[in-house]
Chain A
């Protein structure tokens, strides 16, 4: 008897495919864990119990009939509530869309469906994906699975918590300034930001079209590779989609090619780093060396990074304001106070400023590649330089204090979105208060294979990704026969 909710996505998919277990048993294990933990962690907006069971039964019949099985056949997933299906609500975390249904099925969901995945429910997110701490006044407060008094980070808060809490095997988030990587980091799981345009955004709620990326959250690099392989690829319905071949990310994990060279970022990313975080990062670097990676310190172009960190919000806020102009004029009272306030400044950004910020992106990307990726393949940084803050430490802030809090949570991730390059968040230890620490690996455009290979190799010799929050072991799901 095995509790499948605690197994990786890859192992679970293999067990379903071989008949070692059934999709129905796996779905029941997920539902059981959701029943036990979601009243404590509040990461689901809706659980589709009947739909998930029916889909699982169809999947099991299909397997028994000898049908062709996709790479996610019968595996329960749940996603940030901003991926559209015409036959159900996509709230985007807002009262404004509490009964709204999207016009199309999101391409990413369509590809997951075709791969056999079962969508078990809709996950909590920050309203309109605009906030880094992860809670949303429209819902009961989503709690970090390692300590519910600490933030789950956002905006894909439910995605990080549902995977970290072993309620589902994987999840889609979206990342405009760190919203996949940060929730993954603070929940102790892996989050992947693909290259801009690598994954279609058709049918996904736009926040800032120049920066938004769809990315997976899962427990291991191998799980993320499997999910990315399903959702990546050109989509003629998305104007930003890259028309380049999709590698076999899973097969590449076991490649005999030389390991990527890793640069340890010196400057910008390590400013103000907390001693507990530094200790975990140093240990991760030692483990990477033990795993066979060569590494060197890389002085990053800090002046450029500071400039980019200031340009990112200019682009994000101008584009966000453009999306929300009509509803902000007519229904601002239906926005949460915080998100309404976050949107205000974008309405007063001059068009010339915004366009100049976009004109510079190519320049900054070329400079990053010239100064960093001409010397190493991947750049290692912390995700958060500080221990995961408590809810009290992040709530009730206004004005400059609020902006400073946003910067503290996003400074190491948002610059990556402006460059459009891929990055991955990897659990690598704990601070003294038993909250997760994660490092980030950043690559040049389309370097997802190198990122996933590096993390897979790291996870072969470490066990941080196997650590479970106490809340999981204290509330075990019923074992499935």
Chain B
């Protein structure tokens, strides 16, 4: 799987609606493939039963406790 300029062009027409110049459409897949690779690389870590609000639970669960 990889993002290509055609992908950007199609998504832009269908969703984003930006005025992208052709050279920018050709350039964007470099960055988009970095972002896709980042999440694909950690797919194994994603827990079906966890939602994004778990972060707030973790923040308080791991917080510094006042020293006695």
Residues of A within 8 A of B (CB): 195-197, 242, 244, 247, 257, 307, 310-311, 313-314, 317, 325, 328-329, 332, 341, 344-345, 347-349, 353, 355-363, 365-366, 369, 373, 398-400, 403, 420, 443-447, 449-450
B59 CB contacts on chain A under 8 angstroms: 195-197, 242, 365, 420, 445
User: What are 16 residue pairs bridging A and B, where the CB atoms are less than 8 Å apart in the complex?
Assistant: A195-B59, A195-B63, A197-B56, A325-B16, A329-B17, A332-B18, A332-B19, A345-B28, A348-B32, A353-B35, A353-B36, A359-B54, A361-B58, A363-B50, A366-B62, A446-B63
Contact size class for B?
35 or more
Q: Which 6 A-B pairs have the closest CB atoms?
A: A310-B38, A362-B58, A362-B54, A358-B52, A361-B55, A347-B16
Best-surrounded residue of B20, B58, B66 (most CB of chain A within 10 A): B58
Contact B42 A348 (CB under 8 A): no
B12 CB contacts on chain A under 8 angstroms: 347-348
Given contacts A310-B37, A314-B35, A373-B62, contact A344 B52 (CB under 8 A): no
Bound-state Cα–Cα, A31 to B27, Å: 46
Mostly, the B contact residues are: helix
Contact B45 A360 (CB under 8 A): yes
A447 CB contacts on chain B under 8 angstroms: 63-64
Q: Separation in Å of the A323 CB from the closest CB of chain B?
A: 14
Contact A365 B3 (CB under 8 A): no
A344 CB contacts on chain B under 8 angstroms: 18, 20, 24, 28
Contact A357 B39 (CB under 8 A): yes
Residues of B within 8 A of A (CB): 3, 7-8, 11-12, 15-20, 24, 27-28, 30-32, 34-39, 41-43, 45-47, 50-52, 54-64, 66-67
A197 CB contacts on chain B under 8 angstroms: 56, 59
One of B18, B42, B67 near A307 (C-beta < 8 A): B42
Contact B41 A307 (CB under 8 A): yes
A361 CB contacts on chain B under 8 angstroms: 52, 54-55, 58
A420 CB contacts on chain B under 8 angstroms: 55, 59
B65: nearest residue on chain A (CB-CB)?
Answer: A446
A399 CB contacts on chain B under 8 angstroms: 27, 30
Best-surrounded residue of B36, B38, B43, B59 (most CB of chain A within 10 A): B59
Q: Separation in Å of the B32 CB from the closest CB of chain A?
A: 5
Contact B31 A345 (CB under 8 A): yes
B16: nearest residue on chain A (CB-CB)?
Answer: A347
Bound-state Cα–Cα, A444 to B65, Å: 10
B19: nearest residue on chain A (CB-CB)?
Answer: A332
Contact A358 B55 (CB under 8 A): yes
A368: nearest residue on chain B (CB-CB)?
Answer: B62
A403: nearest residue on chain B (CB-CB)?
Answer: B31
Bound-state Cα–Cα, A454 to B16, Å: 48
Contact B62 A365 (CB under 8 A): yes
A325 CB contacts on chain B under 8 angstroms: 16
Bound-state Cα–Cα, A345 to B34, Å: 11
Bound-state Cα–Cα, A456 to B17, Å: 51
Contact A348 B64 (CB under 8 A): no
Bound-state Cα–Cα, A311 to B34, Å: 10
Bound-state Cα–Cα, A410 to B59, Å: 23
A307 CB contacts on chain B under 8 angstroms: 38, 41-42
B58 CB contacts on chain A under 8 angstroms: 361-363, 365-366
Bound-state Cα–Cα, A366 to B47, Å: 14
Given contacts A345-B31, A399-B30, contact A365 B67 (CB under 8 A): no
Bound-state Cα–Cα, A363 to B52, Å: 10
One of B7, B15, B24, B39 near A314 (C-beta < 8 A): B39
A329 CB contacts on chain B under 8 angstroms: 16-18
Contact A445 B8 (CB under 8 A): no
B37 CB contacts on chain A under 8 angstroms: 310
Bound-state Cα–Cα, A345 to B24, Å: 10
Given contacts A361-B58, A399-B30, A443-B64, contact A348 B38 (CB under 8 A): no
One of B8, B42, B63 near A360 (C-beta < 8 A): B42
Bound-state Cα–Cα, A358 to B56, Å: 11
A242 CB contacts on chain B under 8 angstroms: 59-60
Contact A444 B31 (CB under 8 A): no
Contact B64 A449 (CB under 8 A): yes
Contact A362 B57 (CB under 8 A): yes
Q: Separation in Å of the B60 CB from the closest CB of chain A?
A: 7
A369 CB contacts on chain B under 8 angstroms: 62
A373 CB contacts on chain B under 8 angstroms: 62
Bound-state Cα–Cα, A347 to B18, Å: 9
Q: Separation in Å of the A147 CB from the closest CB of chain B?
A: 32
